[in-house]
Amino acid sequence: MPSLLVTGTKLRELRDIRIAVEGLAAARAAERIAPEAIAKLRAISTELYAARERGDVATDIARQSEFQFGIYNASEMPSLVRIIESLWLRTGPYLKLLFPAYIQSLKTRRGDWRSRLCAALKAHDAVAARREIEADVGEALEYLATLADAAGPIRPESSGVNVAPIKRPIGPPAPRTGTGVRARSPVISRGRIDHS
C-alpha cells in the first residue's frame, strides 16, 4: 500500500495522469451513454448539492465518486475504468482536504459544471465532456498540490475534518441492462478496491 504522505510533486504527477485518463473516459462516455444514465447522473448531482448545502461532507464525497464513476463506466471501457479506480485509490483519501475552502469557491469559479457536463453528454459532445472533467480533476488536484507545497507532505488527516466511513459502495448503483454502466461498483476500503 502506498504511503499516505503525499507531496505537491506527486499530486501534480497524479493530476496529469488523471486528467488524461478521466478526460478520455468522459469523451468516450459522451459517445456511448444512454439517456437513463444521464438522468441518473442528474439525480446524483442534485443529491450532491443538497449534501453540500447541509455541510454533509461524507455524503458529498460519496456522491462525487458516484457521479464521476457513473460517467467513466458509461465509457464502456472496463480496463480504463480499472486504471481510474487505481488512481482514485491514490488521491481519494485526500478529497476531504477540499472542504470547506475549495468546495465553497467552486460555485463562484465554475458554476454548475455538472449540469454543463450532463448537457454535453446528452448532446454527445465529447470535447465539452472531456473539458469539464479535465477542469474538475485538474483544479482539485492542483489545489491539493498547493496545500502540500505550503505545508510539506500532507496526509488525509491534515484537514481536521472528521469524515465518517462511507458505508455504501462508491460508484453508481447496479444499472438496468443497456445503460452503458457496469453492474457492480467497487468499494474503496483500506487502500484497496473490493469488487465483491
Residue 57 pLDDT grade (very low, low, confident, very high; cuts 50, 70, 90) = very high
Reported confidence tier of residue 161, pLDDT bands at 50, 70, 90 = very low
pLDDT band per the 50, 70, 90 thresholds, residue 107 = confident
> What stretch of H or E contains 20?
helix 8-32
HSE at residue 67, side-chain half, CA atoms within 13 A, is 24
Summarize pLDDT for 10-46 with one digit per residue, the tens: 999 999 999 999 999 999 999 999 999 999 999 999 9
Q: DSSP H helical segments within 33-154, as ranges?
A: 35-54, 57-74, 78-91, 101-110, 113-122, 126-151
Lowest mean pLDDT: which of 68-77, 120-129, 150-159, 174-183?
Answer: 174-183
Q: What is the pLDDT of residues 165-194, one digit of tens each?
A: 323 333 333 333 344 433 333 333 334 444
pTM here?
0.79
What would the grid cell of residue 181 be?
A: 454502466
Domains of the chain: 8-152 (1.20.120.530)
DSSP string computed for 7-19: -HHHHHHHHHHHH
